[in-house]
Amino acid sequence: MPLPTNPLQMVHLGPRKKRPRQMGASMVCPPHDIKFQDLALYILEKKMGTTRRAFLMELARRKGFRVEDELSDSITHIVAENNSGSEVLEWLQGQNLKASSQLELLDVSWLIESMAAGRPVETTGKHQLVKRDYSASPNPELQKTPPLVIKKISQYACQRRTTLNNCNQIFTDAFEVLAENYEFRENEVFCLAFMRAASVLKSLPFTIISMKDTEGIPCLEDKVKCVIEEIIEDGESSEVKAVLNDERYQSFKLFTSVFGVGLKTSEKWFRMGYRTLNKIKLDKTLKFTPMQKAGFLYYEDLVSCVTRAEAEAVCMLVKEAVWAFLPEAFVTMTGGFRRGKKIGHDVDFLITSPGSTDEDEEQLLPKVINLWERKRVDSGKCSQQEGKTWKAIRVDLVMCPYERRAFALLGWTGSRQFERDLRRYATHERKMILDNHALYDKTKKIFLKAESEEEIFAHLGLDYIEPWERNA
Ligand code: UTP
Ligand code: MG
């Protein structure tokens, strides 16, 4: 049944003028039958007021909902009005309540819709003041634990859990454009400021709706806060708009979209007056690297994102080729796909084999490439661009010694910001040096061994962060 556009009309929510009796918090209500035993509601008075709260409580009870007067551990749904997620969380923190697996923090719209429907409607993102969408997490423990208790947010991404469920995309998209523009202009300080800000907002379990919500959040410099404020007020940032229309930004964005083209080459082409790829391709005086040649040749394929299905197909090919030379090898998909991303710009793999020699390790990748090269020539795919039935996909292969696999796996899983902060944390908080190969303790002057990522986190004194929580 479609809901009426204004559910208030259907359940007559507004206090009527001719009410036979005044309803107040102290009123003794007649008992109502509870139809929905699994739910226990608590309606938050803050910003709603006593009268409206009492009114909604009475109405919900009449509709068969269990509404409690007091907050307790048995409450399953907290309903609030005119409160942001962070405000409800802040209030809840002062309530000495056990974090329950059931607890939902909902906007009053959920209660109104539920009363209109005559049953509790499904809670969705539009009702949830704090998202509890851990459904993507394969860890059942995580699905049970809502992120109710907001601890002090760390300045390090490796001390935050960042899933792909980004509640602040409107801000983070803007920051990423600005960071990229600063990168193109080689302003590292501002670039990093916006990248860190994007990273911290991605970890928040609530959407920022007012400047008050930004209080206590680290990594938000004044420059960043100005952008947030403008987006809250106008829905967009004038600075971002200007960047998106900027000729240098647009050209660099286009040039760096070619595989093998970085900032230096972009700068050169931009200074030469180039603004399109077609003109560059036709300039016979320009010398291209083998990567750039491939970048131009397979441009359309490479700019289109790699899907998970394509990544899985590539994984089969990589395994088949690797196992032809090292049958014992472990082949693991790393990078964004290991973090649960649905699309990527490439597919990253880590290859390692117990008992492999230095020589095996050195020779594996050239052997694999050689095998694929021969296959490509045999099938005549190098020249067949017309009516082609294949797609060029960028694949990053990393081979590492078996004893270093945990460091390599951690290092190649990303995200880049997560890795950056892991290293920064190791250096500044632990006097250790971490890279994709090893962890060195400068105080003890020893290399710390690890068989798993969990052990590396433990060496660093960090809680373990699962790959899908590293989308910083
Ligand atoms: P990617 O650039 O492939 O990023 O590097 P991604 O996270 O998979 O995202 P996509 O591909 O754009 O979807 C994967 C990880 O490998 C490490 C970084 O930690 C990065 O997060 N890496 C990459 C390095 O350590 N060094 C490099 O030179 C490149
Ligand atoms: Mg990748």
Highest mean pLDDT (candidates 84-93, 104-113, 407-416): 407-416
Domains held by the chain: number: 4
Question: Is residue 346 flagged as an active site residue?
Answer: yes
Distance spanning both ends of the chain, measured CA to CA: 41
The CB of 423 under 6 Å from ligand 1? The reply is no
Q: What angle do CA 435, 441, 442 make, to 5 degrees?
A: 105
Task: Assign residue 348 the CATH number of its domain.
Answer: 3.30.460.10
How many A from CA of 307 to the centre of ligand 2? 11
Taking Cα atoms as reference points, which of 360, 379, 438, 365 lies closest to residue 403? Answer: 438
Q: What is the dihedral of CA 381, 386, 389, 390, to 10 degrees?
A: 50
Same domain, 271 and 337: no
Torsional sign, CA 181, 183, 189, 191:
positive
Residue 360 has pLDDT above 70, yes or no: yes
**How many whole angstroms separate alpha carbon 88 and alpha carbon 205?**
12
Using one digit for the tens of pLDDT, what is the confidence trace for 221-249? 999 999 999 999 999 999 999 999 999 99
- The residue among 361, 381, 399 that closes a domain is 399
3-class SS of residue 312: helix
Same domain, 275 and 391: no
Task: Assign residue 411 the CATH number of its domain.
Answer: 3.30.210.10
Is the previous residue joined to 415 through a cis bond, with omega within 30 degrees of 0? yes
Given this model, what pLDDT does residue 100 score?
Answer: 62
Question: Is residue 396 flagged as an active site residue?
Answer: yes
**Structure tokens, 51:** 């009268």
Same domain, 136 and 223: yes
346, 360, 435, 441: the catalytic one is 346
Task: Assign residue 114 the CATH number of its domain.
Answer: 1.10.150.110
Q: What is the mean pLDDT of the chain?
A: 89
Using one digit for the tens of pLDDT, what is the confidence trace for 375-427? 988 887 665 677 889 999 999 999 999 999 999 999 999 999 999 999 999 99
Residue 19 has pLDDT above 70, yes or no: no
107, 213, 348, 421: the catalytic one is 348
Same domain, 100 and 155: yes
- The residue among 355, 376, 399 that closes a domain is 399
Range of the domain at 77: 1-245
Same domain, 357 and 430: no
Please indicate, yes or no, whether the overall pTM of this predicted structure exceeds 0.85: no
Which residue, judged by its Cα, is nearest atom 26 of ligand 1?
A: 412
Same domain, 239 and 377: no
Same domain, 344 and 430: no
How many A from CA of 272 to the centre of ligand 2? 31
- The residue among 343, 376, 399 that closes a domain is 399
In ligand 1, the atom with minimum distance to the C-alpha of 411 is 19
Taking Cα atoms as reference points, which of 38, 57, 48 lies closest to residue 111? Answer: 57
Amino acid sitting at position 378: D
Using one digit for the tens of pLDDT, what is the confidence trace for 242-290? 999 999 999 999 999 999 999 999 999 999 999 999 999 999 999 999 9
How many A from CA of 315 to the centre of ligand 2? 13
How many A from CA of 384 to the centre of ligand 1? 30
Residue among 164, 407, 415 to mutate when testing ligand 1 (max atoms within 8 A of CB): 415
Given this model, what pLDDT does residue 30 score?
Answer: 66
The CB of 346 under 6 Å from ligand 1? The reply is yes
Same domain, 209 and 102: yes
Q: Please tell me the total number of residues recorded for the chain in this structure.
A: 472
Task: Assign residue 290 the CATH number of its domain.
Answer: 1.10.150.20
Same domain, 97 and 220: yes
**How many whole angstroms separate alpha carbon 310 and alpha carbon 316?**
10
The CB of 436 under 6 Å from ligand 1? The reply is yes
Highest mean pLDDT (candidates 6-15, 122-131, 145-154, 386-395): 386-395
The CB of 412 under 6 Å from ligand 1? The reply is yes
What count of other Cβ atoms lies within 10 Å of the Cβ of residue 9?
11
Same domain, 343 and 324: yes
Same domain, 74 and 137: yes
Same domain, 414 and 275: no
In ligand 1, the atom with minimum distance to the C-alpha of 344 is 13
